[in-house]
Structure 1
């Protein structure tokens, strides 16, 4: 470097002799902090306000260690009255389980059949008309906002006791969740196949049939199995208003304080829910892919992959590994040897078996409901009369009591969400395979989450009511424990779905496991955590309403009491109050999700 080209204040080696500050001017570099967006600040303040409201609710409801310690004697007395468990004969249990499963499967099938067209109308890429799209979205929101308990009360007035009431109540309410997830799946499809089909001159129905439906079938099946699991828990609740099955048997046992029989049947429900969770999880993995992260298939899938292999014809090239092969190369090889049908691989055998079993189970479930379908044709006049009884809405002179009960319901939901988050976040994080110290801990916690999810909140509420007494404390504790199952699973899935590149980059610098989690994993998963907490709050508001029917506090007590004394105008008024609260939470959740997403 020559003197003429040497920078001022530097040596020949290129090092500064005396570091000088940059003179102020338009070209001087400046270090500035990014100004947070107003929406981001408002979203952060809203989250802080929700946390503060949760703490306030815990204080107002007097949920503390002293309350739990005071109930220790009641808990011991309850255990003494509950044990030994009194199980009914095996044939009676089989009959109750069969009736419950028939109602649940038929209700889920009804929700799927109704949700598919509603989802197509609600998806932006399949329905360009905004009026139709907004109407479909409004229908989804209304379906979610009306509690299934209210629908059951309405259909009981029309059709009376029977399986049909439960099927219609659960099926119509399930449309709110199923159709929403279906519409989201339709909006996320790859538009390439659909565009190619449209280029051939195909009509709209052909586009849907060949370009949309094949892409969303796996997501549709997975959602249906998830809803089947949820409806099994709901069936226990509907038993308390007269819908048949094992829930009705539990209700009858608890009404006469036969805790030995009631808790025995509750244990049957627990085993049934856990089994349903495991089966639905296996089906979802088989439909969506048995080896998601490139892991070798295990269990039945692994056994079939080792025993069921397609025979190679003479001259046919060796098929590459399913995990590393190119599907286009497989197709080309199949055409060269003249094979036009896919081989019977382990995955195809499983899918065919699942389809055959599913069709048989659905057919068996529809038989008891089909016997009651003849009553629908003649129920037109009864339906009009029943619906007229629910209008106009009226508060029955107890408006202050209803508003106080609604506030208690919101407090139960807020407190339960906060407690559930405190319990579920560490469980969910350690259940994620990319964060857990080892695979055994992750698998153990995953099974723990499945077990907790298998316990219906209504059963927990009944237990806490007996142990602690009537009031919101029992409902809060029941929902908090229930949140560990749902929120823990959502958190674990979100942590496992983060981009591993950021984690690996920190590991290469020598960062510890804790530093990788707080530096790479948590920042990516945090927006999903916020969304999951809001979803849990939404679920808890609905659940807190329903738990009131067993004395767990909140407005549910007034809802059931108004139905029992035939004050259906009060029922409608309570439903409208709940609808307003649910819509407020829904709007808040949508705004926070957009704000958090924009801040990333």
Structure 2
């Protein structure tokens, strides 16, 4: 008689969050999910209505081909300025953008510390900081530039302050979110040994947050570089001002040559900053998965016994840390010299702020309330239509750019390069081109934003698909599922909440951008806003800004609810 071998008891190992998600039973759609689906369907319906009402159709687009050919003929030959002049324009633009981003980072750090639960206990302080972040994001940088130009006059100072203050809305939010996601055990350890609140914060948070600080600052630098072109239309210096002057005089050869320079500059900055962000941000697999000198650059020297080493040695990594700080100081000093920023001008302008603010109060419509609300509706329609058209184009491009969806390296690399090129074109340049081709109005603004949306949304979709958990996909393949079945049932289903969130973010962004593109005649309330500022109807400027802030806050609240509902 054979005796069965004893079976060892199975001891369950530690389960991860991903394991728990896989073992979690499939839930039926909740009321929140059904409501979110209904809201998304309504938004799609509004997008379709906006496309129809704005007159965007195939015959209109085909009818503009003749104008497009004529425009291309007027562009060539491109007229580049002399190399020394071009180098000076580029240097001034980069100096303005660098100082604006540096100012934004410097202001965002204390604001984010006040807005994060982990570093601020008072609800009033946190609420005030969060409100400041929302307001900074809601008020367009163009409006801030108009106000500050009134204070400081034409030149780069207003642009630096406008982009810097507006950038706090994005950078401060991302920093605050990053602080709340940090491991709180180092701060708790300092608290346990009797450290004060400030000691807890400054000993545990800065080094852990430093990669996020650098990466977010680089990302905002990309955005501010594109924004600087727009601010040239209201008198801020750099390449943007030169493009505005050329296009106002219908000198398309010079204007489009400079636009091509901006495109090349944006692509180079995007590639360089993207590489740096990829090198310093944590990769999947924990800290041990990160290698390279940048990781060591961000680390404190390892503590040694006092008898062995009193001072940190001058290693290669320490030299690089010092060199990085020195380069930052030199670039800051060079940028200040290039824009000719001095303390007397800055303090003199600050003293004029109270009297300037009084010009914008109280808000009023100046007898043009009907026109304001009609243009506001057009602005919202442009944003809805551009989000819909951009989403339709971005979804297949984002899918083809995802490495875990498309096996062919040439395919996903090619589409990634396409995304980078599209992202490098400032939307203002696209709007100018479409205004010349299709005429003034909402069609030009919609097409410009829709094409610009492809660059942003395609990248976000591709990244979301690549970040999905591969184990459900592998399980379906093991069961014999085809590639389309694996993609639809596992990959796309996991990425769906992120795609919804990114689409709502795009709608939010397009509402702001539609306002700004109106400056060049691309439809919406932007032209009315700029015209009111030019004829000194500052109360109308304030009324328009308040309306736009209200619309942006409504969209942001709806976006937050949708992200929570589809989770």
- TM-score for the superposition, normalised by structure 2: 0.90
Distance in 1 separating the partners of 2:329 and 2:495: 39
Cα distance per residue 1:376-406 (max 9 Å; x no partner): 2223442222110000101011111111100
Distance in 1 separating the partners of 2:329 and 2:280: 16
2:402 aligned counterpart, secondary structure = coil
Tell me if structure 2 keeps the 8 A contact 1:559–1:574.
Answer: yes
Task: Classify 1:492/1:356 alpha carbon distance in 2 versus 1 (closer, same or farther; 3 Å).
Answer: farther
Aligned length: 537
Cα distance per residue 1:333-356 (max 9 Å; x no partner): x99x978969968x8887776555
Per the alignment, residue 434 of structure 1 pairs with: 404
Per the alignment, residue 14 of structure 2 pairs with: none
Match of 2:393 among 420, 423, 446: 423
User: Does residue 1:82 correspond to 2:52, yes or no?
Assistant: no
Cα distance per residue 1:64-117 (max 9 Å; x no partner): 111111111111111111111000000010000010001000000000010001
User: Does residue 1:503 correspond to 2:473, yes or no?
Assistant: yes
Tell me if structure 2 keeps the 8 A contact 1:164–1:372.
Answer: no
Match of 1:360 among 317, 330, 333: 330
User: Does residue 1:224 correspond to 2:217, yes or no?
Assistant: yes
Per the alignment, residue 154 of structure 2 pairs with: 161
Per the alignment, residue 243 of structure 1 pairs with: 236
Task: Classify 1:59/1:580 alpha carbon distance in 2 versus 1 (closer, same or farther; 3 Å).
Answer: same
Per the alignment, residue 134 of structure 1 pairs with: 127
2:524 aligned counterpart, secondary structure = coil
Cα distance per residue 1:515-569 (max 9 Å; x no partner): 1111111111000000000000000000000000100000001000000000000
Task: Classify 1:351/1:56 alpha carbon distance in 2 versus 1 (closer, same or farther; 3 Å).
Answer: farther
In the TM superposition, residue 283 of structure 1 has moved relative to its aligned partner by: 1.5
Match of 1:150 among 120, 140, 143: 143
Per the alignment, residue 571 of structure 1 pairs with: 541
Distance in 2 separating the partners of 1:230 and 1:367: 23
Distance in 1 separating the partners of 2:235 and 2:313: 50
Cα distance per residue 1:482-518 (max 9 Å; x no partner): 0111111111111111111111211222222211111
Distance in 2 separating the partners of 1:503 and 1:344: 46
Superposed, which structure 2 residues align to 1:51-450 within 5 Å?
51-288=44-281, 356-369=326-339, 371-450=341-420
Per the alignment, residue 423 of structure 2 pairs with: 453
2:258 aligned counterpart, secondary structure = helix
- TM-score for the superposition, normalised by structure 1: 0.85
Structure 1 or 2, whichever has the larger Rg, is 1
1:128 aligned counterpart, secondary structure = coil
2:94 aligned counterpart, secondary structure = helix
Task: Classify 1:380/1:338 alpha carbon distance in 2 versus 1 (closer, same or farther; 3 Å).
Answer: closer
Task: Classify 1:297/1:331 alpha carbon distance in 2 versus 1 (closer, same or farther; 3 Å).
Answer: closer
Task: Classify 1:58/1:508 alpha carbon distance in 2 versus 1 (closer, same or farther; 3 Å).
Answer: same
In the TM superposition, residue 48 of structure 1 has moved relative to its aligned partner by: 0.8
Distance in 1 separating the partners of 2:378 and 2:507: 14
Task: Classify 1:150/1:125 alpha carbon distance in 2 versus 1 (closer, same or farther; 3 Å).
Answer: same
Per the alignment, residue 8 of structure 1 pairs with: none
User: Does residue 1:462 correspond to 2:432, yes or no?
Assistant: yes
Distance in 2 separating the partners of 1:45 and 1:370: 54
Per the alignment, residue 317 of structure 1 pairs with: none
Match of 1:549 among 519, 542, 547: 519
Tell me if structure 2 keeps the 8 A contact 1:545–1:554.
Answer: yes
User: Does residue 1:560 correspond to 2:530, yes or no?
Assistant: yes
Tell me if structure 1 keeps the 8 A contact 2:157–2:341.
Answer: no
RMSD (CA atoms): 2.7
Distance in 2 separating the partners of 1:208 and 1:33: 41
Superposed, which structure 2 residues align to 1:478-557 within 5 Å?
478-557=448-527
Distance in 1 separating the partners of 2:194 and 2:288: 42
In the TM superposition, residue 372 of structure 1 has moved relative to its aligned partner by: 3.2
Task: Classify 1:445/1:464 alpha carbon distance in 2 versus 1 (closer, same or farther; 3 Å).
Answer: same
Tell me if structure 1 keeps the 8 A contact 2:111–2:129.
Answer: yes
